[in-house]
């Protein structure tokens, strides 16, 4: 295993003679304006946007894990912080924004600074990357967006649904996280008794 920092050297190749842009370990790419990508996502609908985003996220996770793998190909001891750093590099390479991570008690949030993509696409990319890495079903719920920063809660589908209902009801996202942490602690204490 390797906790080496993200290294973008050679990650993107521009073959001007052939008119191709490619990323290491991936087929050719096309550079498109973010506004048109968002318009295309709106026109294509939720299912197509989700499929595109998940495919992008899975490819990002694969490249990140390949970079983090030890000589034997194992990634078992890689920290979540190292993985998120490499995922952030992948996001930056494709121009989706700057990814960061926050911990709120037991809750994990991913932040995207200066997001330029459609919200549904961003959520799907994050979900695809995390699900393919953890082999667990996750859902990303957008908690807030202000001053060029979006915060996404990474949770199980049932928890995400609960949080979305509370957000829709007008409850503040920070208050929701405090309640989730308290509920998790109470359940853990109840299981120990």
Rounded Cα distance, 56 and 61, in Å = 9
Q: Which two tokens stand for residue 85?
A: 């750093």
Q: Structure pTM?
A: 0.85
Rounded Cα distance, 55 and 52, in Å = 5
106-130, pLDDT tens digit by residue? 889 999 998 888 899 999 999 999 9
Walk me through the domains of the chain, giving residue ranges and CATH numbers: 12-192 (3.30.1380)
Q: Bridge-partner residues for 13, per DSSP?
A: 22
How large is the angle between the packed helices 119-134 and 46-68, nearest 10 degrees? 40
pLDDT (0 to 100) of residue 190 = 43
Q: Torsion angle of alpha carbons 158, 163, 166, 170, nearest 10°?
A: -160
Closest alpha carbon to 138 in 149, 129, 148, 146? 129
pLDDT surpassing 50 at residue 26: yes
pLDDT surpassing 80 at residue 82: yes
pLDDT surpassing 50 at residue 192: no
């Amino acid at each position: 295993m390797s906790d080496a920092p993200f290294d973008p050297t050679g990650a993107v190749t521009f073959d001007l003679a052939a008119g191709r842009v490619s990323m290491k370990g991936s087929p050719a790419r096309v550079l498109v304006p973010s506004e048109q990508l968002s318009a295309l996502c709106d026109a294509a609908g939720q299912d197509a946007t989700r499929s595109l985003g998940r495919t992008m996220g899975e490819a990002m996770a694969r490249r990140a894990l390949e970079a983090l793998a030890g000589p034997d190909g194992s990634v078992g001891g890689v920290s979540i912080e190292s993985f998120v750093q490499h995922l952030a590099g992948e996001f930056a390479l494709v121009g989706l924004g700057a990814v960061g991570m926050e911990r709120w008690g037991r809750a994990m949030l991913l932040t995207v600074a200066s997001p330029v993509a459609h919200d549904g696409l961003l959520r799907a990319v994050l979900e695809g990357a995390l699900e393919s890495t953890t082999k667990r079903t996750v859902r990303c719920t957008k908690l807030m967006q202000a001053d060029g920063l979006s915060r996404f809660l990474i949770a199980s589908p049932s928890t995400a649904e609960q949080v979305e209902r509370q957000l829709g009801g007008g409850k503040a996202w920070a208050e929701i996280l405090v309640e989730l942490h308290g509920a998790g602690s109470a359940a853990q204490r109840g299981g120990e008794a």
